[in-house]
Amino acid sequence: MRFHILTLFPEMVQQGLAESIIGRAAANDILSIDAVNIRDYTIDKHRKTDDYPYGGGAGMLMQAQPVYDAWKSVAGGGRPRTVYLTPQGQTFTQKLARELAREDELVLLCGHYEGIDERVLEEIVTDYISIGDYVLTGGELPAMVLVDAVSRMVPGVLGNGVSGETESFEGDLLEYPQYSRPEEWHGKRVPPVLLSGNQKEIAAWRREAAVARTRERRPDLYRRYEALRACLPALKKEKLLHIDMTELIERGQARLVYVKGRTVCLCDTASGIYLHTAENREDGIAALLALREDAAACGEESPMLTLHQKFMREDAQKLLGVEETMSFYQAVYTRKEKLPVSGLYQTDAGQQEKRARRDAAQNGKDKKPAAEIRRLTLEELAFVRSVYRTVDDENYIRDRIEKGWMYGAFVDGVPAGFAGMHTEGGLGLLEVLPEYRKRHIGKALETYLINLSLEQGMTPYGQVAEDNEASRKLQESLGLCFSRQKVYWMEKKHPEKL
């Protein structure tokens, strides 16, 4: 990721971003941060960059010419995304940071004095961003805040395998308190449960502490958290059908868009996809209208949504211009106990070899060893891309790998298949190479993911298309329960698909 910061104080941003994690990422060429001195581009013989505002008023304005020429020097002939840091912009959020992190290049323009001549802003700025409702003396600190927040979401910046976007399972809740050594300090002891080694009790304690802390320190966030949880009883009246919605709430990944009785509309904060369920058509339409407004406010022109009732399809089509692209049954693993794994897979190559040798010795013949399962890395991205037929979106698969939610099955060290978790939380992305079919590789992968999800306190589920007989059989063999009704994926059809 390349940042170009246009400023009158280049040393300030260079020094501010030269240390710690961001400095190290820049030194390792994962980021480049180039501070451009606007003053170097003025044509004024006294190197002046400001002047009085027409019409009078306090203070000085930065002039158009040096700003434009400084911008030209980095833009070349192109039109890179250019952010002007100003208290008049949209408020900077984690969501916006995530969106900006997808760019290859960003130009950040720092103002000073009373601002910048409007005409140059009109020509070069694509985004106006504020870091909060207070006024600073210049845009340098805001630009540094933005670079820091965006950079930590760039793959590799936080170090191997760590994701800046921890798919937080706490959502609107603040972090729970943490303790390190010693066990007692200033007469204060670490809460005993944290020393107990009981992961379940520790998780429960942390959740409670996070709730209490949020209620006390951020009543605004707590109200949101409560409003979402209040939807759960209504959604759980049809548990299987609404598993995607309840899991989104339980995993802290939901934003409430609309609720009235049993009519609920949520937005998945990770993917931007909406989920809609309606008690009747009238309320369902009200929820669709709220969805439309919400999407427009988020700058989303063609929202994607999952409908939970067939009778809402025409209304969604009319109001949002979307069409049904696929329909699925929900398949839910409703038990709390983990699935047995014996004979399916190992997670340690050494053990696998030993077992294979033992089996071969016992049987006196070459028995095919079970698969080894491990998390995929970006090195396997090309392999997944070449094999997986359902999703032709490299960025999506890359994202799934980076978030640690793609697993591969290896036989004799050779990749035989993979599976993962979709951004919205359903298990899927399953593919087994033809030569490895009928050897329980799919079952091994799915078992592994179900057990992993259970360990993390989730209810595992997936979505099965009506005509996907193989997937249906697999889910049934693992004891998953199917919803009676289907859910409907609605999206704008791409012109080439029409």
Q: Given the complex with ligand ADE, which of 86 and 309 has the nearer CB atom?
A: 86
Task: Enumerate residues 157-216 that contact ligand ADE by CB under 6 A.
Answer: none
- Helical pair 199-217 and 219-229, crossing angle rounded to 10 deg: 120
Q: Tell me how many residues contact ligand ADE (CB under 6 A).
A: 11
Asked whether position 272 contacts ligand ADE by CB under 6 A, the answer is no
At its nearest, how many Å lie between ligand ADE and the CB of residue 110?
Answer: 8
Q: Given the complex with ligand ADE, which of 149 and 370 has the nearer CB atom?
A: 149
- Give the strand order in the sheet containing 323-332: 254-260, 263-268, 274-277, 305-307, 481-491, 323-332, 461-465, 427-432, 414-421, 406-411, 371-375, 345-346
Q: List Cβ<8 Å contacts ≥24 apart for 452-457.
A: 453/333, 453/421, 453/427, 454/333, 454/336, 454/338, 455/338, 456/169, 457/169, 457/203
130, 151, 253, 475: which one contacts ligand ADE (CB under 6 A)?
Answer: 130
Q: Given the complex with ligand ADE, which of 90 and 280 has the nearer CB atom?
A: 90
Q: Given the complex with ligand ADE, which of 113 and 388 has the nearer CB atom?
A: 113
Longest CA pairwise span in the chain (Å): 96
Q: Given the complex with ligand ADE, which of 54 and 134 has the nearer CB atom?
A: 134
Burial zone of 421 (CB within 10 Å; 0-12 exposed, 13-18 middle, 19+ buried): buried
Asked whether position 151 contacts ligand ADE by CB under 6 A, the answer is no
Q: Beta 274-277 vs 263-268: how paired, if at all?
A: antiparallel
At its nearest, how many Å lie between ligand ADE and the CB of residue 460?
Answer: 43
Residue 485 identity (one-letter amino acid): Q
Q: Beta 323-332 vs 461-465: how paired, if at all?
A: antiparallel
Q: Given the complex with ligand ADE, which of 115 and 191 has the nearer CB atom?
A: 115
Q: Which stretch binds ligand ADE (CB under 6 A): 134-142, 305-313, 329-337, 400-408?
A: 134-142
Q: Given the complex with ligand ADE, which of 84 and 176 has the nearer CB atom?
A: 84
Residue 371 pairs in a beta bridge with 345
At its nearest, how many Å lie between ligand ADE and the CB of residue 142?
Answer: 4
b/e code 47-69 from CB counts within 10 Å (16+ = b): eebbeeeeeeeeebbbbbebbbe
10, 80, 139, 460: which one contacts ligand ADE (CB under 6 A)?
Answer: 139
- Cβ-proximal residues to 53 (8 Å cutoff; 6+ apart), any chain: 59, 60, 61, 114
Q: Given the complex with ligand ADE, which of 113 and 396 has the nearer CB atom?
A: 113
| One character per residue 50-89, x = contact with ligand ADE (rule: CB under 6 A) | -----------------------------------xxx--
Q: Given the complex with ligand ADE, which of 136 and 190 has the nearer CB atom?
A: 136
Q: Which stretch binds ligand ADE (CB under 6 A): 40-48, 124-132, 182-190, 488-496?
A: 124-132
Task: Enumerate residues 82-101 that contact ligand ADE by CB under 6 A.
Answer: 85-87
At its nearest, how many Å lie between ligand ADE and the CB of residue 101?
Answer: 19
Report residue 22 as tokens.
């961001």
Q: Given the complex with ligand ADE, which of 143 and 266 has the nearer CB atom?
A: 143
At its nearest, how many Å lie between ligand ADE and the CB of residue 112?
Answer: 9
Neighbours of 126 (CB within 10 A): 12
At its nearest, how many Å lie between ligand ADE and the CB of residue 52?
Answer: 20
**In terms of Cα–Cα distance, which of 125, 126, 132 is closest to 91?**
132
Tell me how far apart the terminal alpha carbons of the chain are, to the nearest angstrom: 36
b/e code 9-44 from CB counts within 10 Å (16+ = b): bbebbbebbeeeebbebbeeeebebebbbbbebbee
Asked whether position 136 contacts ligand ADE by CB under 6 A, the answer is yes
At its nearest, how many Å lie between ligand ADE and the CB of residue 134?
Answer: 5
C-alpha distances in angstroms, 466 versus 330, 390, 434, 489? 10, 15, 22, 13
At its nearest, how many Å lie between ligand ADE and the CB of residue 83?
Answer: 10
16, 142, 417, 442: which one contacts ligand ADE (CB under 6 A)?
Answer: 142
At its nearest, how many Å lie between ligand ADE and the CB of residue 136?
Answer: 4
54, 134, 435, 438: which one contacts ligand ADE (CB under 6 A)?
Answer: 134
At its nearest, how many Å lie between ligand ADE and the CB of residue 193?
Answer: 41
**In terms of Cα–Cα distance, which of 450, 280, 281, 251 is closest to 266?**
251
Q: Given the complex with ligand ADE, which of 131 and 411 has the nearer CB atom?
A: 131
Q: Given the complex with ligand ADE, which of 113 and 383 has the nearer CB atom?
A: 113
40, 48, 126, 132: which one contacts ligand ADE (CB under 6 A)?
Answer: 132
Q: Which stretch binds ligand ADE (CB under 6 A): 133-141, 260-268, 381-389, 435-443?
A: 133-141
**How far is residue 19's CA from residue 349's CA, in Å, rounded to a whole number?**
40
Binding positions for ligand ADE, rule: CB under 6 A: 85-87, 130-132, 134-136, 139, 142
